Chains A and B, each alone.
Chain A
Amino acid sequence: MTVFLQGVYEGIINGSILALIAMGIALVWGVMNILSFSQGEFLMLGMFVSYYANRYLGLDPIVAMPLSAGALFLLGIVIYKLIISRALRGPILSQRLITFALSMVLVYSAQMFFGAEYKQLVNPVIFSGTIDLGFITIAKQKLVPFILALLVAGLLFLFLNRTRMGKAIQATSMDRYAAGLVGINPDRSYTIAFAMASAVAGAAGCALTYYYYMFPNVGATFQLWGFIAVAMGGFGSVTGAFLSGLVMGLADTLTGLYVNTAIKYIGVCVVFLVTVSFRPKGIFGK
């Protein structure tokens, strides 16, 4: 029984990173109908911010998190203004491909600037060690991504549904023309949404550095699962993305634990396929 509980706990924790990436993808997709292929790279950049802050300033990743989120937020604004906003005026295919090209540029730039080798945090951090509750063992550093995912999900929900700016963003996503008519600046809504998504990825990257290694291509795997989580949760639904990410983490860990570690990703895919065959638009799909 303890093994099962530990497995469930670990699954949720593992799913938290996926949930964070997926929420970013869902936000961008839901608001401006763009598939953000570069969320994984924003995660990677967040990881490197955390690494360098740790190595040269001795900062703990959790301290570096607001830094990373802020930096990625600004980067998101710049990328939106320079690249995405122009893509939105062009043909649909360009819109889909533009973030893909962006992700390649980011990966290769990272290779050039940070080097291709695997890195881990160098200086000691606050959150190390474990708490033994008897029926499960909680690794402190693994709590960080989970709490972050909860916070982000909650804050995003509150922001989108209870604040003026958030409702403006929702309105823009529902009907861009009408949003313009009532005085909302659609471009501003898109910028904020995109920047928030990249900030979320940046913070997630920091959380990830507690226990995962970093290298320029690290975003790719998480990105892929992030997309699947969004598809499962319903494109455009941030809440759906959050829940799906957690479910996928559970599927990953429990399949590995009870069936076979070699096919744990098949387990995740099975869960995905079953979900979309019953609800093709995803759990909360619009």
Chain B
Amino acid sequence: MSMKKLICLLLTAAMMFSLVACGGNTTTNNTAGNGNTNNSGTTDEGGDAATGDTIRIGVLTPLTGASAQLGNQVAEIYQMVTDIINEEHPELTMAMAANAGIQSMGGAKLELVIADHKSDATTAVSEARRLISEENVVAICGEFTSAIAKAVAVVTEQYQVPLVASCSAVSLTDGTNNFQWFFRYAITDETYIKDTFDFLNYLNENYDAGIETVALFSEDSEFGANIVPLEEKYAEEYGYEIVETINYSSSATNLTSEVMRIKEADPDVLLMSSFVSDALLFFNTCKEQQYTPNFIIGQRGGFIQSDYLTAMGDENNYICTTASWGSDITTAVTQELVELWANSEYNSEKVALMDSHVKDVMNLLFIAMAIEQAGTTENTALREALLNLEYDMDTLMIPWSGIEFNEYGQNTKANGFITQYYDGAYRTVYPEAGASMEPVYPMPEFAY
């Protein structure tokens, strides 16, 4: 075979692999993910979203790359919930379950169009464009980090299509970008951080913890970078001394000097904003250096992902994270979702329900509720409905104090929780009212 032909063959092979493994694999909820089929009356292609029998909702989620585990799980649970919405389930408590489809639009059914953003902003942008202009979706939701959401929000703003996301960066709704088509029902980093420091006060007041110093350990992309200034702000306000600030690259080949510095600084509490891989590397390195942080509060990220929890196992005991939800919340609608997901055929890895899943599910419900309320999929009407959503908190899985939007698309009445991992699950330890366990301070040593 001549040289040129061989090069062409190899490059073609590489491109073919990339097409298969990455972008361009839109799936409707007939055949998504792992070959589960369902027959809830969805059509394959065609049928304009505004007219016709199905309403298409765009779902952007990381099916490959970092966070692929979570991304796939979100795609799966979305399909489960879509089925519930599309079918009659008067026995269920959750919103939109009772009737089949969107009543105000003649029972029109929802159809998910799932796309892989690969945790890459460029891919997310092109996929969002494609969902809107080719697949004619009426709204976009899914699983995003703040960086991806920011990129996609520019597209949805341009096309004036609602984007409902739960990622926590404050800058998405603080007026810096003034997105008119971005909606966040869930809490922001600011609330999480305020909750974190409130928790430190709580430990000092009620458990004599004597916490005075904190150290910040933050990865250097959008996720961590947004959190650091908030931590600094609240540390100063609440009177805690920051003894070390570590910014690191989540793809670092080693975290040795980072751990050595924290060990030297010996903070009472370590605040971590990390993803799965760097968190795991961090803990490995800590053990190598024979160092156990006194107490750790993570900011979700890797701490709540199933591959992290599988790898850590019991070593994760007593590590805390902020959370927007806890599986130990005892409301009927919450436990119902826990059950449904545990027994769902869509749940291919049989993972337990986690707060990332729940937040994302709520966004899908809100879109469905807004369409029901507006009686149309026309975008300005949809936007109106989303901003002034009528709701019954008993039918929603996160017991916030309410839903009330400010001018930038943020629900100001959302609140968060602090959870501490123990014996296989994160348990709510703060606020006291919702707590299922008393917090344990400090953390016991790692086994070296």
Contacts and interface: CB of A to CB of B under 8 A. Distances in A.
B406 interface: no
Interface of A: 3, 6-7, 10-11, 13-14, 17-18, 83, 86-87, 89-91, 94, 97-98, 101-102, 104-105, 108-109, 111-112, 115-120, 129-130, 132, 137, 139, 141-142, 211-213, 215, 221-222, 225, 252-257, 260-262, 264-265
Nearest to B218: A262
A254 B69 contact: no
B260 A257 contact: yes
B422 interface: no
Contact of B264 (A3, A109, A253): A3
A7 to B, nearest CB: 7
A-B pairs with lowest CB-CB distance, top 8:
A256-B257, A90-B3, A139-B288, A108-B17, A104-B14, A262-B247, A257-B257, A10-B256
Nearest to A121: B311
B10 A211 contact: no
Q: Which of A98, A120, A221 has most B Cβ within 10 Å? A: A120
Given A221-B251, A222-B253, A225-B253, A261 B68 contact: no
A14 B254 contact: yes
B433 interface: no
B233 to A, nearest CB: 20
Contacts of B351: none
Contacts of A262: 220, 246-248
Given A7-B256, A118-B66, A129-B448, 11 more contacts: A3-B260, A98-B7, A101-B14, A117-B69, A130-B287, A255-B257, A256-B261, A257-B257, A261-B261, A262-B247, A265-B249
B276 interface: yes
B64 A91 contact: no
A116 B18 CA distance: 13
Contacts of B220: 262
Contacts of A3: 260, 264
A101 B252 CA distance: 25
Contacts of B266: none
B284 interface: yes
Contacts of A89: 3
B257 A7 contact: yes
Nearest to B257: A256
Nearest to B306: A117
B448 A104 contact: no
Given A98-B10, A116-B68, A261 B281 contact: no
B336 interface: no
Interface size class of B (residues with CB under 8 A): 35 or more
Contacts of A87: 3, 6-7
Majority-rule SS of B interface residues: helix
Contact of B14 (A13, A108, A120): A108
Interface in B215-262: 220, 246-249, 251-254, 256-258, 260-261
22 contacts: A3-B260, A6-B260, A6-B289, A7-B257, A10-B256, A87-B3, A89-B3, A94-B4, A101-B7, A101-B10, A105-B14, A108-B20, A112-B20, A116-B64, A116-B65, A117-B69, A211-B285, A252-B253, A252-B254, A256-B258, A257-B260, A262-B248
Contacts of B284: 211-212
Given A89-B3, A90-B4, A256-B261, A118 B10 contact: no
A7 B260 contact: yes
Interface in B366-392: none
A208 B411 CA distance: 46
A212 B66 CA distance: 15
Nearest to A257: B257
A109 B14 CA distance: 9
Contact of A261 (B6, B7, B11, B248): B248
Interface in B283-301: 284-285, 287-290
Contacts of B64: 111, 116
A198 B110 CA distance: 51
B143 to A, nearest CB: 14
A105 B311 contact: no
B29 to A, nearest CB: 22
B333 to A, nearest CB: 31
B231 to A, nearest CB: 15
A3 B257 CA distance: 10
Interface in B59-73: 64-66, 68-69
A86 B280 contact: no
B287 to A, nearest CB: 7
A226 B21 CA distance: 27
Contacts of A130: 287-288, 290, 448
Given A105-B10, A108-B18, A225-B253, A137 B247 contact: no
B253 A261 contact: no
A109 B21 CA distance: 9
